[in-house]
Structure 1
Amino acid sequence: MGSLQAAGVARDEYDYIICGGGTSGCVVAARLAENANTKILLVEAGPDCKDNENIKMTGGWSKNFDSETDWNLVTPPMPGVDGRQVKLSRGKFLGGSSGVNGTLCIRGTEADFDDWGLDGWSGKEMFAYMRKSENFHTKDWFQADAKAHGYDGPLHIEPHDLAPISELLLKSMESQGLPLDHDMFTTGSRPHGCGHAPRTVHKGLRSTGADFVTDDYHRANIEIVVDTLVDKVNFDESKRAVSVDLIDKSGNKFAVKARNEIIISSGAYCSPPILLRSGIGPKEELQKLGVECLVDSPGVGKNLLDHIIVFTFYEVTKDGLTNDHLVYHDNAAMESYMLYKEKKTGVLSTFPFGAFAFARLDDRLKDEPLWQEAQKKAAAGRDPMDLTESQPHIEFFTTELYGGPKQYDKFPINKKSAFAMITELFSPRSKGTVTVKSTDPFENPIVDCNYLNDPLDLLVMSEGVRFGNEIVMQGSGTKDIVKGSWPADLTHHAFTKREDWIPHVKNEATTCYHAAGTCKMGKDNDPMAVLDADLMVRGVKGLRIADCSVMPTLHGGHTQMPAYGIGEKAADLIKAAAY
């Protein structure tokens, strides 16, 4: 698979150094390596994990958390969620979070990217870059929009075969005013409807960013070094990035030179700390860290955006509708594991998400005083969340068994069954920050997501959760097979007023792992723009960033496909520089 080393590298100079072997970084490395004369170093902080079964076996995703394969980030207490702290698990291995995510390919709408207002980053262009990474495999029952997919990329994608409970939930969504459109999450053409979300899974195996640089796609001109942290970037007198300081797992430090460019692809949480240690960031913060300010860039680590989600669980009255009996009942877990080992099929071969929907909440919120007041201040053609009519406010998705973040441990045994309706908030107005305590690269950054700080976020989220409950409890597919809340001591299924849902939202709101925005692109007149539209770090030369931290605003979808698209776009920009 290439030169993988725990310490040191084979040479001291490369054409390109890519700092971060996650989703976008692997794409950039792979595309640059298409020129066989180009020498590339790809640096990953975590291990290789090529033999980690819980990456390729999608159902083993949670086994990678709380260990060396997780960045193990935890927020400080956040007032908007009643002082709770939230665990922010991120993949720390080659392939990054593409190896632990929900495998969902939900691109958002073209308008989401048009809103960036940056040349080369329109929705049409971003959708084309997302297709470039894709190798789509359809199924007989799936009504695919064939032109919306790509078929030549390293990233294998296929539709998900639904459990019975998900088929029923789709019927409930339709009956509650969300029309069925099979491939709407690929086309991004419907802000109010339900459908199927394709997954980065094929033939029982998860497909990840690592697939771009390993196995069939390995190229000899990429050297991959793992278990190695990026400390900082070094610059010459003209402020050109010329080398990177690296630290291996044993604490050995060494520098590697770059002839052409250095690309930081360490994600929304870890790209800002590299810039800060390199002297690029808010001057006051750098002074407190004892770092000489090379570029006073106030936007570094600011504008942190994330989609929050709320799980609401329900008990099912009939056996066999959910997949709980394949995991939690009797000896089912071992039987499912053996099935996967032998045939790469069964419940462990895919991620247990089921039915999906986008929704606009205009009619439901129009009489809310807060909404009405905010609408008076909104721009023309925009609503209080700064969205157009073509962009959804929320997403609904469901689980096909009980489960989620580790706090949900009331597993249904004794033939009981449960599932969750998950509500996700798009276009959050609450913004967080990423800072560091010191210049020690082994010390995790401080990530304050600032969830639900803006009252409009709480308004939309609580109404969305209320709508999700109506889908379950009143929808034609599920109203007669749902007993109520799970565990049984909860009574939220009986709530009728939006205000009743607010304590539930504050208590259960958690991350959807869609962090973005902390090194955002922007126009020349935006003082908070860390990057220009070519992903170049402002104030220096030869340094770009390529990951979801570059996003000025967060799209109405999941970040996996944009992360691939950003990597593809970055590679084209770098090639166009023609060194």
Structure 2
Amino acid sequence: MSLERVDSVDPADVYDYIICGGGTSGCVIAGRLAEDLDAKILLLEAGPDNADLENVHMAGGWSKNFDSETDWNIVTEPMEGVDNRRVNCSRGRFLGGSSGVNGTLCIRGTKQDYDDWELDEWTGDKMFEYMNKSESFHKKDWHKPNDKCHGTSGPLHIEPHDLAPISERVKQSLVDAGLTYSPDMFSTGESPHGCGDVPRTVHKGIRSTAADYITKNNRRENITILTSVTVDKILFTQSGSSTEPTATSVSTISKSGIKFDYMARKEIIITAGAYCSPPLLMRSGIGPKEQLAKHNIPLVVDAPGVGANLQDHVLCFTFYEVNQPNLTNDYLAYHDNAIATTLKQYQEEKSGILSTFPFGIFGYARLDERLADSELWKNAPRQEGRDPMGLTRQQPNIEFWNTELYGGPKQYADFPVDHKHAFAMCTLLFNQHSRGSVTLASSDPLKNPVVDHAYLKDPLDMLVLSEGVRFGNEIITRGAGTRDVIAGSWPADLSHHKFTTREDWEPHVRQHATTCYHAAGSVRMGKADDEMAVLDQELKVKGVRGLRVADVSVLPRVNNGHTQMVAYGIGEGAAEMIKRDGNKLLKLTEQVESLKI
């Protein structure tokens, strides 16, 4: 591997593959394609290298990467469903991308989530195989994994998370509420109603990121990596008898303003994520023709699905004060000068709370019975065998987890520095009906797009999330593990104990609903007759040749889990498809050459 400055790379060089975006899926694809030592690969990343970014490798420092040059600083438009608030949707802007700022969580969802895409190349069985391929799972004595669900030879090092005392108590309350404990349920994807342990992309105190596919022990000289380089657009040529233009090069601009075009002889792969892949396609002339005309961009393909179908998992934090010391980890972070000692411990030993992400035990829940009294739920249209959210009884409606100290999105800044202790019960909505969009603000590649997630726009989304938050509150305030340690709600004016109905909880949900950083679906793949599908199921952009998109923007519907492992799975699957097509082309070339002889 070579990590180069822009001015040291000859733009006349021709690469077999150019990968536009050094985030999670992009690094996976680059690393896997480089296993063919004859392949010459260029990886372009808008942000810096992550080698010297301490708050990437130290999982507990994740939020320090935000609101800076290592963050894309995406902020939504005001959204009516959340009291017209704008929501920060931070994304990692450095080599490894959001795999270096996420919650480290390996929650795959269920196989049915992927079978629901109805695409032969991306079944549940195949997606779970791709995700397994990415990982090296490291056991701990106390944890009982399902060995069939874990890989042992991938670049991604993962291990179970040791629970803080408050998490053990939340676990007891989850079980008390009927969510049976199943240790490895988030890897098997077999339980829609229960609780379990979540493996994390942390090993020996160090976060494992997608950059590990192309750095450390996986360095290869046939990859050239250019950081601090933004891809402006893809350039096309019309060649041969084909009526479809072929992607042949990419136009870029460096942080210092240097502009270069780089050529690809085989394929160009866009891996810029759910927010940045759509504007890159649109700047290249592929997108809704009205939008392109508005910004004077010549039309290559009228693709109305580019930027549509934007999805996320809406998340709501509910905080509680604890009446006993040291159940939460607040005393290790916020009290007195504790953080200095904690940081020293990490720097010297790679241990302590900064070596982990402060989320505890997790649960899935079905809400059928709890919603049976709702007229909206009862009267909503549904497919046979599915609920109004489009889910089977083998898929969860919501996810729960607890924080192990006071913390979350940056709007929660009222830290308990006065020797108080607090944690949150988090509730996440699955299979939301609301759909958002990504549109161009400008044809300038250095300007962020316009993002509207339309959170909770659909009444069913509000109904299910409010019921989920209500259920989560019951678990904490009534459960055997936590009811006796709750001193009150945090902040006190929320008065959680007085809330009884879904309607009571709706204002809280509107005020506190936020992103889970799982943006997906904005460049979706689909069948040939799907006019809103931008890609075929091999991730090839319809209407052109030599161009694919391969990141979580391609998901027709976001999985009922978290998207980190999905991003790895998409990268692994894409790499296999690209290699397969490359082998077909090689065989065809050999056949042609043999005929000449």
The CA deviation string for residues 122-172 of structure 1, in whole angstroms up to 9 with x for no partner, is 001000000000000010000100111000000000000000000000000
- Output the CA distance in 1 between the equivalents of 2:560 and 2:394: 11
Alignment of 1:58-457 (within 5 A): 58-237=59-238, 238-374=244-380, 377-457=381-461
Work out which of the residue numbers 526, 529, 544 in structure 1 matches 2:530: 526
SS of residue paired to 1:128: helix
- Output the CA distance in 1 between the equivalents of 2:284 and 2:337: 53
The CA deviation string for residues 39-84 of structure 1, in whole angstroms up to 9 with x for no partner, is 0000000011211111101111111000000000111111111110
- Taking structure 1 as the reference length, what is the TM-score of the superposition? 0.99
The CA deviation string for residues 408-428 of structure 1, in whole angstroms up to 9 with x for no partner, is 111112321000000000101
Aligned 8 A contact 2:50 2:96 in 1: no
Aligned 8 A contact 1:7 1:228 in 2: no
- Output the CA distance in 2 between the equivalents of 1:385 and 1:9: 51
Q: CA deviation at 1:191?
A: 0.3
- Taking structure 2 as the reference length, what is the TM-score of the superposition? 0.96
The one-letter code sitting in structure 1 at the alignment partner of 2:336 is D
Runs of 4+ that moved beyond 6 A: none
- Output the CA distance in 2 between the equivalents of 1:516 and 1:139: 33
SS of residue paired to 1:292: coil
- Correspondence for 1:506: 510
The one-letter code sitting in structure 2 at the alignment partner of 1:460 is V
- Correspondence for 2:485: 481
SS of residue paired to 2:47: coil
SS of residue paired to 2:118: coil
The CA deviation string for residues 418-459 of structure 1, in whole angstroms up to 9 with x for no partner, is 000000001010000000121100000111011000000000
The CA deviation string for residues 469-522 of structure 1, in whole angstroms up to 9 with x for no partner, is 000000110011111211223202331111000000000000000000000000
- Correspondence for 2:476: 472
The one-letter code sitting in structure 1 at the alignment partner of 2:538 is D
Q: CA deviation at 1:292?
A: 1.3
The one-letter code sitting in structure 2 at the alignment partner of 1:146 is D
- Correspondence for 2:558: 554
The CA deviation string for residues 310-330 of structure 1, in whole angstroms up to 9 with x for no partner, is 000000011110000000011
Q: Does residue 1:545 correspond to 2:566, yes or no? A: no
Aligned 8 A contact 2:15 2:263 in 1: yes
The one-letter code sitting in structure 1 at the alignment partner of 2:140 is K
The one-letter code sitting in structure 2 at the alignment partner of 1:572 is E
- Give % identity: 62
- Output the CA distance in 1 between the equivalents of 2:513 and 2:106: 22
SS of residue paired to 1:340: helix
SS of residue paired to 1:87: coil
SS of residue paired to 1:3: strand
The one-letter code sitting in structure 1 at the alignment partner of 2:249 is S
The one-letter code sitting in structure 1 at the alignment partner of 2:405 is L
The one-letter code sitting in structure 2 at the alignment partner of 1:3 is L
Q: CA deviation at 1:253?
A: 1.1
Q: Which runs of 5+ in 2 are unaligned?
A: 239-243, 586-597
Q: CA deviation at 1:307?
A: 0.3
SS of residue paired to 1:365: coil
Q: CA deviation at 1:356?
A: 0.3
Aligned 8 A contact 2:372 2:378 in 1: yes
- Output the CA distance in 1 between the equivalents of 2:277 and 2:185: 32
Say which is worse superposed, 502-511 or 414-423, in terms of deviation.
414-423
Q: Which runs of 5+ in 1 are unaligned?
A: none
The one-letter code sitting in structure 2 at the alignment partner of 1:25 is G
Alignment of 1:5-84 (within 5 A): 5-7=5-7, 9-11=9-11, 12-84=13-85
- Correspondence for 2:519: 515
- Correspondence for 1:4: 4
The one-letter code sitting in structure 1 at the alignment partner of 2:474 is E
Q: CA deviation at 1:34?
A: 0.3
The CA deviation string for residues 242-267 of structure 1, in whole angstroms up to 9 with x for no partner, is 00001101222110100000000000
- Output the CA distance in 1 between the equivalents of 2:325 and 2:494: 21
Aligned 8 A contact 1:262 1:543 in 2: yes
The CA deviation string for residues 354-388 of structure 1, in whole angstroms up to 9 with x for no partner, is 010000000000110000111xx211111100011
- Output the CA distance in 2 between the equivalents of 1:434 and 1:6: 30
- Output the CA distance in 1 between the equivalents of 2:342 and 2:314: 31
> How many matched pairs?
577
Q: CA deviation at 1:4?
A: 2.6
SS of residue paired to 1:142: coil
